[in-house]
Structure 1
Amino acid sequence: MTNSIESAAREGALADVAVLMPAYNGQADVERTLASFKEEAPVYALIVDDGSTPPIVAPDVPGMHIEILRMPKNGGIERALEAGIDALAERGFRYAARIDAGDLAFAHRLAKQRARMEASPTLAALGMWTQVVNRAGEPLFMLRPAADPARLRRERLLRSPMAHPSVMLRVDAVKAVGNYRAKYPAAEDLDLFLRLMDRYECANLPEPGLYYELNEGGISATKRRRQIVSTLRLQLVHFNALNWRDWAGLAKSLLHFVTPYRALQRVKRVLLA
């Protein structure tokens, strides 16, 4: 990237927004994802290379300044995101827009989210509806989490409050609650969202903002079980016995633990299509 693009990215309408993408290998997915951003202002992106072999190389994307932060070794997405937030805070960015390699952004996603967060200073995180697709790009189902902060707080243990790769985060709020952490492996997003909701508001824009690629062949049973165990631990920590949704959320997690992954995806396609 040229210095002129970097300068424009720090002076334009999205000057205080940074795309935050952790990556472990998958150069082609990194390139495809970054190329999907269509905004009317220059965009800055920080790729946290989590020990890729060979290392991730910054692609040349018109209108985008891309920086790579290299982790000394592969330490997992939790530590990569923690390092990314720290780096963005040091660089003076106010907002971090999450996305994962392989996912695609809807046009003007960043501008829409920034406008809402500027208009709602109490918001610490803002997600968007997410179109789940297969590896061929064919639609499977739409994730439509609640838009209202109060409803989201009530249902936070019943269903995922926000689709993590669709979320824009207020960097100072993330730092204030302790940043991403590795205490709950594979559930670092829910851990962060729950801590943010204890002190701030979180919401969703009720419109599509992300194409999320579901790679069923890449899901390992070990990671899935680790995620469910971490989710159960978080549900117990934040459990409110007076909220029936928390009881339902516990039951749902236990059901997920004993139900095959592919069977769950078939159910989602029927219920959410």
Structure 2
Amino acid sequence: MTRNETGPLDDVAVLMPVYNCQEDAWRTLASLRETAPLRVLVVDDGSEPPFAAPPARDLPGLRIEVLRLTPNGGIEAALAAGVEHLHAQGVEFVARIDGGDLARPGRIAAQRAAFVTAPRLGALGTWAQAVSRDGRPRFVMAPPTEAAAIRRVRFARSCFIHPAMMLRMRAVRAAGSYRDRYPAAEDLDLFLRIMREWDCANLPLIGIDYELNESGISASRRRRQILSTLRLQCVYFEPGNPLYWVGFAKHLLHLLTPYAVLSNVKRMLRPRESASRPIRR
């Protein structure tokens, strides 16, 4: 373990948008276990009743702030508001997580340490253990780790797990932050803009347990997400990259494939991983 991994995290904040998910968000907050105090911004996007943070005595390692937005404006607006709020407070690195997902111990510190030796790094993710709503391990999500590989295959496969990302604030602001131009693909839109000037990579370790929820955002907004991704492919046209065309064909096929069928295929193709496996150093 490096000195940076056990040092302070004063320049880092966790950004978690929530909407009517009090219990899930509390479980997520309880999973944030680091070796140094950690700041967390919860953006309550018009929840009814409003989100209430757990008592400070229950999570002494966290300094939790709640930013309330009304009415509900969607995740894109919530993330943009959170970034602006944290920028005003001088935060240099934003770690993402969503309500229901669980952070592995040391995930934030490991990502922060990686930025120290990579000044051109604008965004850094991790791998993830996909789990069911009751916590059963389903499959491992292991996107490419190297920036060059990500640039080559970025439309042929998913290269980032949004709630496992840490973002350099300067890169996010220079790219124009989150926006709602590409509904349900606000994360890919941002990462592609960051990649114009910065590198994006992933650590080869499992940083979160990613909750699969068939009724959640990935299922209900799937069609809009695919259409937005196809629009982004048109913006970042790469006719000489064979993997670009593989991705284009794949996304067209996904439009015609039921979500449950697609999930089963992915589960069969991905390796299993114990949900109790610790973060790798």
1:20 paired residue number: 15
Given the alignment, which residue of 124, 145, 155 partners 2:122? 124
Q: TM-score, normalised by structure 1?
A: 0.94
Note the 1:68-147 alignment, pairs <5 A: 68-147=66-145
Do structure 1's residue 52 and structure 2's residue 47 form an aligned pair? yes
Considering only aligned residues, what root-mean-square deviation do their CA atoms show, in Å? 1.1
1:203 paired residue number: 201
C-alpha separation between the residues in 2 aligned to 1:21 and 1:166? 11
**Could you tell me how far 1:72 is from its partner in structure 2?**
2.0
C-alpha separation between the residues in 1 aligned to 2:44 and 2:167? 20
**Could you tell me how far 1:223 is from its partner in structure 2?**
1.4
Do structure 1's residue 159 and structure 2's residue 157 form an aligned pair? yes
Three-state SS of the structure 1 residue aligned to 2:133 is coil
C-alpha separation between the residues in 2 aligned to 1:220 and 1:21? 17
CA 1:89–1:221: 2 relative to 1, 3 Å: closer
CA 1:219–1:176: 2 relative to 1, 3 Å: closer
C-alpha separation between the residues in 1 aligned to 2:178 and 2:248? 23
C-alpha separation between the residues in 1 aligned to 2:159 and 2:267? 19
- Identify which range, 12-21 or 255-264, moves more after superposition: 12-21
Conserved? CA contact 1:160–1:190, under 8 Å: no
1:183 paired residue number: 181
C-alpha separation between the residues in 2 aligned to 1:210 and 1:220? 17
Three-state SS of the structure 2 residue aligned to 1:96 is strand
Conserved? CA contact 1:106–1:209, under 8 Å: yes
Instruction: After superposition, give the CA deviation of every residue in 1:93-152 in whole Å (9 maximum; x if it has no partner).
Output: 000000000000000001100000111111000000011000011111111111110011
1:261 paired residue number: 259
Instruction: After superposition, give the CA deviation of every residue in 1:206-228 in whole Å (9 maximum; x if it has no partner).
Output: 01001000011435865111111
Letter in 1 for 2:239: A
Three-state SS of the structure 2 residue aligned to 1:199 is coil
Conserved? CA contact 2:129–2:137, under 8 Å: yes
- Identify which range, 151-160 or 18-27, moves more after superposition: 151-160
C-alpha separation between the residues in 2 aligned to 1:186 and 1:128? 21
2:233 paired residue number: 235
Three-state SS of the structure 2 residue aligned to 1:216 is coil
- Number of corresponding residues: 262
Q: TM-score, normalised by structure 2?
A: 0.91
Letter in 2 for 1:21: M
C-alpha separation between the residues in 2 aligned to 1:18 and 1:217? 29
Three-state SS of the structure 1 residue aligned to 2:111 is helix
**Could you tell me how far 1:235 is from its partner in structure 2?**
1.1
Three-state SS of the structure 2 residue aligned to 1:198 is coil
1:63 paired residue number: 61
Three-state SS of the structure 2 residue aligned to 1:97 is strand
The answer for unaligned runs of 5 or more in structure 2 is 1-6, 272-281
Letter in 1 for 2:19: Y
2:192 paired residue number: 194
Note the 1:26-37 alignment, pairs <5 A: 26-37=21-32
1:244 paired residue number: 242
CA 1:139–1:45: 2 relative to 1, 3 Å: same
C-alpha separation between the residues in 1 aligned to 2:147 and 2:31? 29
Letter in 1 for 2:236: H
**Could you tell me how far 1:172 is from its partner in structure 2?**
1.3
Three-state SS of the structure 2 residue aligned to 1:208 is strand
The answer for unaligned runs of 5 or more in structure 1 is 1-11
C-alpha separation between the residues in 2 aligned to 1:247 and 1:126? 26
